[in-house]
Structure 1
Protein backbone atom coordinates (compact mmCIF):
# COMPACT_ATOMS: atom_id res chain seq x y z
CA UNK A 1 0.00 0.00 0.00
CA UNK A 2 1.36 3.43 -0.94
CA UNK A 3 1.89 6.18 1.62
CA UNK A 4 -1.06 8.02 0.10
CA UNK A 5 -3.33 5.04 0.76
CA UNK A 6 -2.37 4.87 4.43
CA UNK A 7 -5.02 3.34 6.71
CA UNK A 8 -5.89 6.62 8.44
CA UNK A 9 -6.34 8.37 5.12
CA UNK A 10 -8.55 5.59 3.80
CA UNK A 11 -10.74 5.68 6.92
CA UNK A 12 -11.27 9.43 6.50
CA UNK A 13 -11.99 8.86 2.81
CA UNK A 14 -14.51 6.13 3.67
CA UNK A 15 -16.38 8.43 6.05
CA UNK A 16 -16.35 11.20 3.46
CA UNK A 17 -17.75 8.93 0.76
CA UNK A 18 -20.13 6.70 2.73
CA UNK A 19 -19.75 6.59 6.51
CA UNK A 20 -21.26 9.99 7.23
CA UNK A 21 -24.48 8.92 5.49
CA UNK A 22 -24.94 5.87 7.73
CA UNK A 23 -27.96 6.06 10.08
CA UNK A 24 -25.71 5.81 13.14
CA UNK A 25 -22.17 4.93 14.22
CA UNK A 26 -20.43 2.54 11.86
CA UNK A 27 -19.72 -0.71 13.76
CA UNK A 28 -16.07 -1.57 14.23
CA UNK A 29 -16.63 -4.96 12.59
CA UNK A 30 -18.07 -3.20 9.55
CA UNK A 31 -15.12 -0.82 9.37
CA UNK A 32 -12.80 -3.81 9.38
CA UNK A 33 -14.77 -5.42 6.54
CA UNK A 34 -14.91 -2.26 4.46
CA UNK A 35 -11.27 -1.32 4.94
CA UNK A 36 -10.24 -4.91 4.32
CA UNK A 37 -11.69 -4.54 0.82
CA UNK A 38 -8.96 -1.97 0.06
CA UNK A 39 -6.14 -3.90 1.68
CA UNK A 40 -6.12 -2.66 5.29
CA UNK A 41 -5.86 -5.38 7.96
CA UNK A 42 -7.85 -5.38 11.20
CA UNK A 43 -5.03 -4.27 13.56
CA UNK A 44 -4.31 -1.27 11.30
CA UNK A 45 -7.98 -0.32 11.28
CA UNK A 46 -8.20 -0.45 15.07
CA UNK A 47 -5.01 1.55 15.66
CA UNK A 48 -5.95 4.15 13.03
CA UNK A 49 -9.43 4.57 14.48
CA UNK A 50 -7.86 5.13 17.91
CA UNK A 51 -5.63 7.87 16.50
CA UNK A 52 -8.54 9.55 14.74
CA UNK A 53 -10.50 9.38 18.00
CA UNK A 54 -7.65 11.10 19.88
CA UNK A 55 -7.56 13.81 17.22
CA UNK A 56 -11.27 14.46 17.75
CA UNK A 57 -12.34 13.35 14.28
CA UNK A 58 -14.23 10.22 15.34
CA UNK A 59 -16.46 9.78 18.38
CA UNK A 60 -17.47 6.40 19.85
CA UNK A 61 -21.08 5.30 20.03
CA UNK A 62 -23.44 2.36 19.90
CA UNK A 63 -25.57 1.20 17.02
CA UNK A 64 -29.27 0.50 17.41
CA UNK A 65 -28.32 -3.14 17.93
CA UNK A 66 -25.85 -2.20 20.67
CA UNK A 67 -22.63 -2.79 18.73
CA UNK A 68 -19.64 -0.53 19.35
CA UNK A 69 -18.97 1.86 16.50
CA UNK A 70 -17.70 5.27 15.49
CA UNK A 71 -19.27 8.35 13.95
CA UNK A 72 -17.81 11.63 12.77
CA UNK A 73 -17.48 14.44 15.29
CA UNK A 74 -19.34 17.68 14.45
CA UNK A 75 -15.99 19.31 13.65
CA UNK A 76 -15.08 16.52 11.24
CA UNK A 77 -18.46 16.83 9.54
CA UNK A 78 -17.83 20.54 9.03
CA UNK A 79 -14.45 19.79 7.46
CA UNK A 80 -16.02 17.28 5.06
CA UNK A 81 -18.94 19.57 4.22
CA UNK A 82 -16.52 22.38 3.41
CA UNK A 83 -14.38 20.04 1.36
CA UNK A 84 -17.32 18.79 -0.73
CA UNK A 85 -17.34 22.03 -2.71
CA UNK A 86 -13.80 21.30 -3.85
CA UNK A 87 -13.69 17.52 -4.04
CA UNK A 88 -16.95 17.11 -5.94
CA UNK A 89 -16.86 20.28 -8.05
CA UNK A 90 -18.56 19.68 -11.40
CA UNK A 91 -17.57 22.83 -13.27
CA UNK A 92 -14.20 24.49 -13.95
CA UNK A 93 -13.34 27.33 -11.55
CA UNK A 94 -14.33 30.85 -12.57
CA UNK A 95 -12.36 34.03 -12.06
CA UNK A 96 -14.01 35.55 -8.98
CA UNK A 97 -11.09 37.64 -7.80
CA UNK A 98 -8.76 36.98 -4.90
CA UNK A 99 -8.84 36.72 -1.14
CA UNK A 100 -5.80 37.90 0.82
CA UNK A 101 -4.98 36.62 4.29
CA UNK A 102 -2.69 38.94 6.23
CA UNK A 103 -1.58 37.79 9.64
CA UNK A 104 0.55 38.97 12.51
CA UNK A 105 1.48 36.65 15.39
CA UNK A 106 3.48 37.81 18.45
CA UNK A 107 6.94 36.29 18.82
CA UNK A 108 5.81 34.73 22.09
CA UNK A 109 3.30 32.65 20.08
CA UNK A 110 5.55 31.67 17.20
CA UNK A 111 4.11 28.12 17.15
CA UNK A 112 0.79 29.61 16.07
CA UNK A 113 2.59 31.41 13.27
CA UNK A 114 3.88 28.08 12.00
CA UNK A 115 0.42 26.53 12.32
CA UNK A 116 -1.15 29.42 10.40
CA UNK A 117 1.31 29.06 7.56
CA UNK A 118 0.85 25.32 7.31
CA UNK A 119 -2.95 25.58 7.41
CA UNK A 120 -3.11 28.30 4.77
CA UNK A 121 -0.78 26.31 2.53
CA UNK A 122 -2.91 23.21 3.13
CA UNK A 123 -6.01 25.13 2.07
CA UNK A 124 -4.39 26.08 -1.24
CA UNK A 125 -3.07 29.57 -0.48
CA UNK A 126 0.04 30.82 -2.20
CA UNK A 127 2.55 33.30 -0.80
CA UNK A 128 2.32 36.79 -2.29
CA UNK A 129 4.74 38.36 0.22
CA UNK A 130 5.97 37.64 3.77
CA UNK A 131 2.85 37.42 5.92
CA UNK A 132 0.57 37.91 2.92
CA UNK A 133 -1.16 34.84 1.49
CA UNK A 134 -3.39 34.74 -1.57
CA UNK A 135 -6.03 32.38 -2.96
CA UNK A 136 -9.05 32.44 -5.27
CA UNK A 137 -11.87 34.27 -3.49
CA UNK A 138 -14.16 31.22 -3.37
CA UNK A 139 -11.86 29.65 -0.73
CA UNK A 140 -12.71 32.32 1.82
CA UNK A 141 -15.61 30.59 3.63
CA UNK A 142 -13.78 27.30 4.14
CA UNK A 143 -10.66 29.15 5.30
CA UNK A 144 -12.68 31.20 7.78
CA UNK A 145 -14.27 28.04 9.22
CA UNK A 146 -10.88 26.34 9.52
CA UNK A 147 -9.15 29.22 11.29
CA UNK A 148 -12.07 29.73 13.66
CA UNK A 149 -12.08 26.03 14.52
CA UNK A 150 -8.36 26.21 15.34
CA UNK A 151 -8.66 29.43 17.33
CA UNK A 152 -6.44 31.30 14.88
CA UNK A 153 -8.94 33.84 13.58
CA UNK A 154 -7.79 36.58 15.96
CA UNK A 155 -4.44 36.80 14.14
CA UNK A 156 -5.75 37.14 10.59
CA UNK A 157 -7.38 39.84 8.48
CA UNK A 158 -9.00 38.97 5.16
CA UNK A 159 -9.25 41.24 2.14
CA UNK A 160 -10.93 40.65 -1.20
CA UNK A 161 -9.87 42.26 -4.47
CA UNK A 162 -8.18 42.00 -7.84
CA UNK A 163 -4.56 41.92 -8.93
CA UNK A 164 -3.57 45.16 -10.68
CA UNK A 165 0.11 44.56 -11.46
CA UNK A 166 2.79 45.51 -12.17
CA UNK A 167 3.67 41.91 -13.09
CA UNK A 168 1.01 40.31 -15.33
CA UNK A 169 -1.15 37.99 -13.27
CA UNK A 170 -0.30 34.98 -15.44
CA UNK A 171 3.34 35.47 -14.44
CA UNK A 172 2.64 36.41 -10.82
CA UNK A 173 0.85 33.13 -10.09
CA UNK A 174 4.06 31.25 -10.93
CA UNK A 175 5.66 33.07 -7.98
CA UNK A 176 2.72 32.51 -5.66
CA UNK A 177 2.42 28.75 -6.35
CA UNK A 178 4.74 25.97 -7.50
CA UNK A 179 2.66 25.04 -10.54
CA UNK A 180 5.16 22.43 -11.75
CA UNK A 181 4.86 20.49 -8.47
CA UNK A 182 1.06 20.69 -8.62
CA UNK A 183 1.08 19.43 -12.21
CA UNK A 184 3.17 16.44 -11.13
CA UNK A 185 0.50 15.49 -8.60
CA UNK A 186 -2.17 15.61 -11.29
CA UNK A 187 -0.02 13.47 -13.60
CA UNK A 188 0.47 10.93 -10.81
CA UNK A 189 -3.30 10.71 -10.34
CA UNK A 190 -3.77 10.19 -14.06
CA UNK A 191 -1.08 7.51 -14.19
CA UNK A 192 -2.79 5.61 -11.40
CA UNK A 193 -6.48 6.04 -12.18
CA UNK A 194 -7.01 6.86 -15.87
CA UNK A 195 -6.33 3.23 -16.73
CA UNK A 196 -8.86 2.14 -14.10
CA UNK A 197 -11.47 4.31 -15.80
CA UNK A 198 -10.63 2.81 -19.19
CA UNK A 199 -11.24 -0.68 -17.81
CA UNK A 200 -14.64 0.32 -16.43
CA UNK A 201 -15.59 2.02 -19.69
CA UNK A 202 -15.13 -1.34 -21.45
CA UNK A 203 -17.41 -3.13 -18.97
CA UNK A 204 -21.18 -3.32 -18.86
CA UNK A 205 -21.48 -4.67 -15.32
CA UNK A 206 -20.61 -2.80 -12.10
CA UNK A 207 -20.10 -5.30 -9.26
CA UNK A 208 -20.53 -3.47 -5.92
CA UNK A 209 -17.34 -4.69 -4.22
CA UNK A 210 -15.11 -3.88 -7.20
CA UNK A 211 -16.83 -0.51 -7.63
CA UNK A 212 -16.35 0.28 -3.94
CA UNK A 213 -12.65 -0.66 -4.03
CA UNK A 214 -11.78 1.33 -7.13
CA UNK A 215 -13.87 4.32 -6.09
CA UNK A 216 -12.47 4.53 -2.57
CA UNK A 217 -8.88 4.33 -3.85
CA UNK A 218 -9.56 6.96 -6.52
CA UNK A 219 -11.22 9.28 -4.01
CA UNK A 220 -8.37 8.77 -1.55
CA UNK A 221 -5.93 9.90 -4.23
CA UNK A 222 -8.13 12.70 -5.55
CA UNK A 223 -9.35 14.41 -2.37
CA UNK A 224 -5.90 15.84 -1.63
CA UNK A 225 -5.53 17.42 -5.06
CA UNK A 226 -8.14 20.20 -4.78
CA UNK A 227 -6.20 21.43 -1.74
CA UNK A 228 -2.76 21.29 -3.35
CA UNK A 229 -4.24 22.91 -6.47
CA UNK A 230 -6.05 26.19 -5.65
CA UNK A 231 -8.16 25.93 -8.81
CA UNK A 232 -6.90 28.87 -10.82
CA UNK A 233 -8.86 30.06 -13.87
CA UNK A 234 -7.74 28.34 -17.08
CA UNK A 235 -6.38 31.60 -18.51
CA UNK A 236 -3.74 31.72 -15.75
CA UNK A 237 -2.50 28.15 -16.25
CA UNK A 238 0.01 26.63 -18.66
CA UNK A 239 -1.29 25.05 -21.84
CA UNK A 240 -2.42 21.44 -21.52
CA UNK A 241 -2.76 21.81 -17.75
CA UNK A 242 -3.23 18.22 -16.42
CA UNK A 243 -5.65 19.36 -13.75
CA UNK A 244 -8.47 19.54 -16.27
CA UNK A 245 -7.82 15.96 -17.40
CA UNK A 246 -7.53 14.57 -13.87
CA UNK A 247 -10.81 16.25 -12.90
CA UNK A 248 -12.54 14.60 -15.87
CA UNK A 249 -11.18 11.18 -14.86
CA UNK A 250 -12.28 11.57 -11.24
CA UNK A 251 -15.77 12.81 -12.16
CA UNK A 252 -16.23 9.87 -14.53
CA UNK A 253 -15.16 7.37 -11.87
CA UNK A 254 -17.41 9.09 -9.34
CA UNK A 255 -20.44 8.87 -11.62
CA UNK A 256 -19.78 5.27 -12.60
CA UNK A 257 -18.79 3.76 -9.25
CA UNK A 258 -20.02 5.66 -6.20
CA UNK A 259 -23.62 4.42 -6.11
CA UNK A 260 -22.64 0.80 -6.78
CA UNK A 261 -20.01 1.12 -4.05
CA UNK A 262 -22.71 2.31 -1.66
CA UNK A 263 -24.39 -1.09 -1.99
CA UNK A 264 -21.23 -2.82 -0.78
CA UNK A 265 -20.91 -0.21 2.00
CA UNK A 266 -24.35 -1.28 3.25
CA UNK A 267 -26.23 1.95 2.51
CA UNK A 268 -29.86 1.40 1.56
CA UNK A 269 -29.90 4.68 -0.37
CA UNK A 270 -26.89 6.13 -2.23
CA UNK A 271 -25.45 9.31 -0.71
CA UNK A 272 -27.05 12.48 -1.96
Structure 2
Protein backbone atom coordinates (compact mmCIF):
# COMPACT_ATOMS: atom_id res chain seq x y z
CA UNK A 1 0.00 0.00 0.00
CA UNK A 2 1.10 3.58 -0.63
CA UNK A 3 1.68 5.91 2.31
CA UNK A 4 -1.50 7.83 1.46
CA UNK A 5 -3.50 4.59 1.37
CA UNK A 6 -2.03 3.58 4.73
CA UNK A 7 -2.91 7.00 6.13
CA UNK A 8 -6.53 6.94 4.99
CA UNK A 9 -6.92 3.31 6.08
CA UNK A 10 -5.70 4.38 9.51
CA UNK A 11 -8.18 7.25 9.46
CA UNK A 12 -11.00 4.81 8.74
CA UNK A 13 -10.06 2.68 11.74
CA UNK A 14 -9.72 5.78 13.92
CA UNK A 15 -13.15 6.81 12.67
CA UNK A 16 -14.69 3.56 13.82
CA UNK A 17 -12.87 3.70 17.15
CA UNK A 18 -13.71 7.34 17.89
CA UNK A 19 -16.27 7.95 20.60
CA UNK A 20 -19.58 9.29 19.25
CA UNK A 21 -20.14 12.81 20.53
CA UNK A 22 -16.45 13.65 20.83
CA UNK A 23 -15.09 16.65 18.94
CA UNK A 24 -13.11 14.45 16.56
CA UNK A 25 -16.07 12.22 15.82
CA UNK A 26 -18.45 15.13 15.23
CA UNK A 27 -15.95 16.86 12.93
CA UNK A 28 -15.74 13.69 10.81
CA UNK A 29 -19.51 13.45 10.69
CA UNK A 30 -19.92 17.05 9.54
CA UNK A 31 -17.19 16.63 6.93
CA UNK A 32 -18.77 13.51 5.46
CA UNK A 33 -22.43 14.50 5.55
CA UNK A 34 -22.26 18.23 4.96
CA UNK A 35 -18.96 19.63 3.67
CA UNK A 36 -18.81 17.12 0.80
CA UNK A 37 -22.15 18.39 -0.52
CA UNK A 38 -20.61 21.89 -0.73
CA UNK A 39 -17.71 20.74 -2.89
CA UNK A 40 -15.41 19.54 -0.13
CA UNK A 41 -13.82 22.90 0.77
CA UNK A 42 -14.33 24.86 3.98
CA UNK A 43 -12.92 27.85 5.81
CA UNK A 44 -12.00 27.08 9.38
CA UNK A 45 -13.99 30.13 10.57
CA UNK A 46 -17.15 28.68 9.03
CA UNK A 47 -16.45 25.26 10.47
CA UNK A 48 -16.02 26.77 13.94
CA UNK A 49 -19.51 28.31 13.63
CA UNK A 50 -21.05 24.96 12.66
CA UNK A 51 -19.33 23.07 15.45
CA UNK A 52 -20.17 25.78 17.99
CA UNK A 53 -23.83 25.07 17.24
CA UNK A 54 -23.14 21.49 18.36
CA UNK A 55 -21.47 22.67 21.56
CA UNK A 56 -17.88 22.05 20.44
CA UNK A 57 -15.43 24.82 21.51
CA UNK A 58 -13.47 26.49 18.71
CA UNK A 59 -10.12 25.26 20.04
CA UNK A 60 -11.34 21.66 20.05
CA UNK A 61 -12.57 22.06 16.48
CA UNK A 62 -9.22 23.45 15.32
CA UNK A 63 -7.31 20.63 17.03
CA UNK A 64 -9.57 17.98 15.46
CA UNK A 65 -9.13 19.47 11.98
CA UNK A 66 -5.35 19.58 12.45
CA UNK A 67 -5.38 15.90 13.42
CA UNK A 68 -7.39 15.02 10.34
CA UNK A 69 -4.89 16.91 8.20
CA UNK A 70 -2.10 14.74 9.63
CA UNK A 71 -4.21 11.67 8.82
CA UNK A 72 -4.58 12.75 5.20
CA UNK A 73 -8.33 13.34 5.45
CA UNK A 74 -8.11 17.08 4.72
CA UNK A 75 -5.41 19.27 3.20
CA UNK A 76 -4.70 23.00 3.19
CA UNK A 77 -6.32 24.80 0.27
CA UNK A 78 -7.04 28.35 -0.92
CA UNK A 79 -10.46 29.04 -2.45
CA UNK A 80 -11.45 32.45 -3.82
CA UNK A 81 -8.63 34.04 -1.89
CA UNK A 82 -9.59 32.42 1.42
CA UNK A 83 -7.33 30.02 3.25
CA UNK A 84 -9.03 26.83 4.35
CA UNK A 85 -9.09 23.09 3.91
CA UNK A 86 -10.29 20.62 1.33
CA UNK A 87 -11.27 16.97 1.78
CA UNK A 88 -8.60 14.90 0.05
CA UNK A 89 -9.41 12.70 -2.92
CA UNK A 90 -8.70 9.53 -0.93
CA UNK A 91 -10.88 10.65 1.96
CA UNK A 92 -13.69 11.66 -0.39
CA UNK A 93 -13.66 8.13 -1.77
CA UNK A 94 -13.74 6.81 1.80
CA UNK A 95 -16.76 8.96 2.65
CA UNK A 96 -18.50 7.96 -0.58
CA UNK A 97 -18.14 4.28 0.27
CA UNK A 98 -19.45 5.03 3.73
CA UNK A 99 -22.61 6.66 2.36
CA UNK A 100 -23.86 3.32 1.10
CA UNK A 101 -23.44 1.79 4.53
CA UNK A 102 -24.69 4.68 6.64
CA UNK A 103 -27.70 5.71 4.55
CA UNK A 104 -28.53 2.33 3.04
CA UNK A 105 -28.55 -0.22 5.87
CA UNK A 106 -28.81 -3.78 4.55
CA UNK A 107 -30.20 -6.80 6.38
CA UNK A 108 -30.09 -10.39 5.24
CA UNK A 109 -33.20 -12.49 4.83
CA UNK A 110 -33.23 -16.06 6.14
CA UNK A 111 -31.42 -18.22 3.59
CA UNK A 112 -29.34 -15.45 2.03
CA UNK A 113 -25.72 -16.42 1.28
CA UNK A 114 -22.67 -15.90 3.46
CA UNK A 115 -19.07 -15.40 2.43
CA UNK A 116 -16.54 -17.53 4.34
CA UNK A 117 -12.99 -16.17 4.48
CA UNK A 118 -10.26 -18.68 5.29
CA UNK A 119 -6.64 -17.65 5.75
CA UNK A 120 -3.34 -18.96 7.03
CA UNK A 121 -0.82 -16.15 7.29
CA UNK A 122 2.81 -16.87 8.26
CA UNK A 123 4.29 -15.51 11.47
CA UNK A 124 6.55 -13.24 9.44
CA UNK A 125 3.39 -11.39 8.40
CA UNK A 126 2.04 -11.07 11.93
CA UNK A 127 1.46 -7.30 11.72
CA UNK A 128 -0.49 -7.67 8.46
CA UNK A 129 -2.49 -10.53 10.00
CA UNK A 130 -3.43 -8.28 12.92
CA UNK A 131 -4.48 -5.53 10.53
CA UNK A 132 -6.57 -7.99 8.51
CA UNK A 133 -8.44 -9.20 11.57
CA UNK A 134 -9.02 -5.68 12.82
CA UNK A 135 -10.29 -4.42 9.49
CA UNK A 136 -12.53 -7.42 8.88
CA UNK A 137 -14.07 -6.81 12.28
CA UNK A 138 -14.42 -3.15 11.34
CA UNK A 139 -16.67 -3.93 8.37
CA UNK A 140 -18.88 -6.43 10.23
CA UNK A 141 -17.26 -9.82 9.68
CA UNK A 142 -17.64 -12.47 12.37
CA UNK A 143 -15.03 -14.89 13.69
CA UNK A 144 -15.85 -18.60 13.49
CA UNK A 145 -12.26 -19.52 14.42
CA UNK A 146 -8.95 -17.62 14.30
CA UNK A 147 -8.44 -18.51 10.63
CA UNK A 148 -12.06 -18.61 9.47
CA UNK A 149 -14.28 -15.54 9.19
CA UNK A 150 -17.88 -15.15 8.07
CA UNK A 151 -19.83 -12.26 6.57
CA UNK A 152 -22.96 -11.60 4.55
CA UNK A 153 -22.19 -12.08 0.87
CA UNK A 154 -22.87 -8.39 0.21
CA UNK A 155 -19.71 -7.58 2.21
CA UNK A 156 -17.52 -9.72 -0.07
CA UNK A 157 -16.25 -6.82 -2.17
CA UNK A 158 -15.29 -4.78 0.89
CA UNK A 159 -13.51 -7.75 2.44
CA UNK A 160 -11.72 -8.43 -0.84
CA UNK A 161 -10.56 -4.81 -1.06
CA UNK A 162 -9.07 -5.06 2.43
CA UNK A 163 -7.27 -8.29 1.59
CA UNK A 164 -5.89 -6.82 -1.63
CA UNK A 165 -4.80 -3.59 0.06
CA UNK A 166 -2.86 -5.56 2.67
CA UNK A 167 -1.33 -7.69 -0.13
CA UNK A 168 -2.50 -10.91 1.52
CA UNK A 169 -4.47 -12.44 -1.36
CA UNK A 170 -2.11 -15.40 -1.73
CA UNK A 171 -2.92 -16.50 1.82
CA UNK A 172 -6.72 -16.25 1.54
CA UNK A 173 -9.41 -18.58 0.15
CA UNK A 174 -13.09 -17.65 0.20
CA UNK A 175 -16.29 -19.64 -0.18
CA UNK A 176 -19.97 -18.81 -0.64
CA UNK A 177 -22.60 -20.76 1.26
CA UNK A 178 -26.30 -20.45 1.97
CA UNK A 179 -26.32 -23.21 4.58
CA UNK A 180 -24.69 -22.88 7.99
CA UNK A 181 -24.90 -25.91 10.30
CA UNK A 182 -23.28 -25.14 13.69
CA UNK A 183 -23.41 -27.57 16.64
CA UNK A 184 -25.91 -25.34 18.46
CA UNK A 185 -28.64 -23.04 17.20
CA UNK A 186 -27.94 -20.33 14.67
CA UNK A 187 -28.68 -17.66 17.27
CA UNK A 188 -26.27 -19.22 19.76
CA UNK A 189 -23.53 -19.42 17.14
CA UNK A 190 -24.12 -15.89 15.87
CA UNK A 191 -23.68 -14.60 19.42
CA UNK A 192 -20.29 -16.33 19.52
CA UNK A 193 -19.12 -15.22 16.08
CA UNK A 194 -20.22 -11.59 16.48
CA UNK A 195 -20.48 -9.38 19.55
CA UNK A 196 -24.26 -9.27 19.32
CA UNK A 197 -24.61 -7.98 22.89
CA UNK A 198 -22.30 -5.07 22.11
CA UNK A 199 -24.08 -4.35 18.83
CA UNK A 200 -27.45 -4.39 20.60
CA UNK A 201 -26.07 -1.92 23.16
CA UNK A 202 -25.07 0.40 20.29
CA UNK A 203 -28.60 0.27 18.91
CA UNK A 204 -30.11 0.97 22.33
CA UNK A 205 -27.75 3.92 22.88
CA UNK A 206 -28.84 5.36 19.57
CA UNK A 207 -32.51 4.89 20.41
CA UNK A 208 -31.96 6.55 23.79
CA UNK A 209 -30.38 9.56 22.04
CA UNK A 210 -33.07 9.87 19.38
CA UNK A 211 -36.48 11.35 19.96
CA UNK A 212 -38.23 11.12 16.60
CA UNK A 213 -41.28 12.98 17.91
CA UNK A 214 -39.53 16.31 18.60
CA UNK A 215 -40.57 18.75 15.84
CA UNK A 216 -37.85 20.62 13.97
CA UNK A 217 -38.65 24.34 13.81
CA UNK A 218 -35.94 25.61 11.44
CA UNK A 219 -32.82 24.61 9.48
CA UNK A 220 -30.38 25.34 12.32
CA UNK A 221 -32.41 23.22 14.73
CA UNK A 222 -32.48 20.45 12.14
CA UNK A 223 -28.67 20.50 12.06
CA UNK A 224 -28.34 20.62 15.84
CA UNK A 225 -30.81 17.73 16.10
CA UNK A 226 -29.60 15.50 13.31
CA UNK A 227 -25.78 15.84 13.29
CA UNK A 228 -25.34 14.27 16.76
CA UNK A 229 -27.80 11.49 15.85
CA UNK A 230 -25.91 10.78 12.65
CA UNK A 231 -22.68 10.77 14.66
CA UNK A 232 -24.18 8.19 17.02
CA UNK A 233 -25.55 6.13 14.15
CA UNK A 234 -22.80 6.09 11.52
CA UNK A 235 -20.61 3.46 13.19
CA UNK A 236 -23.51 1.06 13.73
CA UNK A 237 -23.86 -0.09 10.07
CA UNK A 238 -20.19 -1.11 10.17
CA UNK A 239 -20.30 -3.16 13.37
CA UNK A 240 -23.77 -4.57 12.63
CA UNK A 241 -23.54 -6.85 9.57
CA UNK A 242 -27.31 -7.06 9.20
CA UNK A 243 -27.79 -10.68 10.15
CA UNK A 244 -31.06 -12.43 9.23
CA UNK A 245 -33.90 -12.81 11.74
CA UNK A 246 -33.03 -16.46 12.36
CA UNK A 247 -29.66 -15.38 13.82
CA UNK A 248 -30.71 -12.44 15.99
CA UNK A 249 -32.85 -12.34 19.16
CA UNK A 250 -36.57 -11.90 18.63
CA UNK A 251 -36.47 -8.53 20.44
CA UNK A 252 -33.53 -7.31 18.33
CA UNK A 253 -33.31 -3.50 18.83
CA UNK A 254 -31.70 -2.99 15.45
CA UNK A 255 -35.04 -3.23 13.68
CA UNK A 256 -36.43 -0.22 15.53
CA UNK A 257 -33.13 1.67 15.37
CA UNK A 258 -32.98 1.44 11.57
CA UNK A 259 -36.55 2.71 11.22
CA UNK A 260 -35.90 5.51 13.71
CA UNK A 261 -32.78 6.66 11.89
CA UNK A 262 -34.56 6.67 8.55
CA UNK A 263 -37.35 8.81 9.99
CA UNK A 264 -34.87 11.29 11.46
CA UNK A 265 -32.97 11.44 8.20
CA UNK A 266 -36.15 12.13 6.26
CA UNK A 267 -37.09 14.97 8.61
CA UNK A 268 -33.74 16.63 9.07
CA UNK A 269 -30.90 15.91 6.64
CA UNK A 270 -31.73 18.06 3.64
CA UNK A 271 -33.09 20.89 5.80
CA UNK A 272 -29.95 20.87 7.96
CA UNK A 273 -27.78 21.04 4.85
CA UNK A 274 -29.58 24.25 3.93
CA UNK A 275 -28.39 25.84 7.18
CA UNK A 276 -24.78 24.84 6.50
CA UNK A 277 -25.00 26.28 3.01
CA UNK A 278 -26.52 29.60 4.08
CA UNK A 279 -24.07 30.18 6.97
CA UNK A 280 -20.82 29.69 5.08
CA UNK A 281 -18.98 32.80 3.93
CA UNK A 282 -16.87 31.22 1.18
TM superposition score normalised by structure 2: 0.84
Q: CA deviation at 1:60?
A: 2.1
RMSD of equivalent CA atoms:
2.2
Structure 2 equivalent of residue 173 of structure 1: 190
1:244 to 255, 261, 265: 255
Listed as ranges, the gaps of 5+ residues in structure 1 are none
SS in 2 for 1:163: coil
Listed as ranges, the gaps of 5+ residues in structure 2 are 1-17
Residue pairs, 1:84-163, within 5 angstroms: 84-89=99-104, 92-95=107-110, 96-149=112-165, 151=167, 153=169, 155-163=171-179
- Contact 2:40-2:87 at 8 Å conserved across structures: no
Could you report, residue by residue, the CA deviation over 1:58-101 in whole angstroms, capped at 9, with x for unpaired residues?
122122x2212222222222222222222112664445311122
SS in 2 for 1:157: strand
Q: CA deviation at 1:151?
A: 4.9
- Contact 2:186-2:247 at 8 Å conserved across structures: yes
- Contact 1:206-1:257 at 8 Å conserved across structures: no
SS in 2 for 1:133: strand
1:78 lines up with 2:89 in the alignment: no
Could you report, residue by residue, the CA deviation over 1:145-197 in whole angstroms, capped at 9, with x for unpaired residues?
3444455555543332233414343432122112122111111111111x2x1
Q: Measure the CA separation in 1 of the matches of 2:125 and 2:239.
A: 27
1:67 lines up with 2:82 in the alignment: yes
Q: Measure the CA separation in 1 of the matches of 2:193 and 2:170.
A: 24
- Contact 2:116-2:176 at 8 Å conserved across structures: yes
Q: Which range is displaced more, 212-221 or 152-161?
A: 152-161
Structure 1 equivalent of residue 237 of structure 2: 226
Structure 1 equivalent of residue 63 of structure 2: 47
Number of matched residues? 260
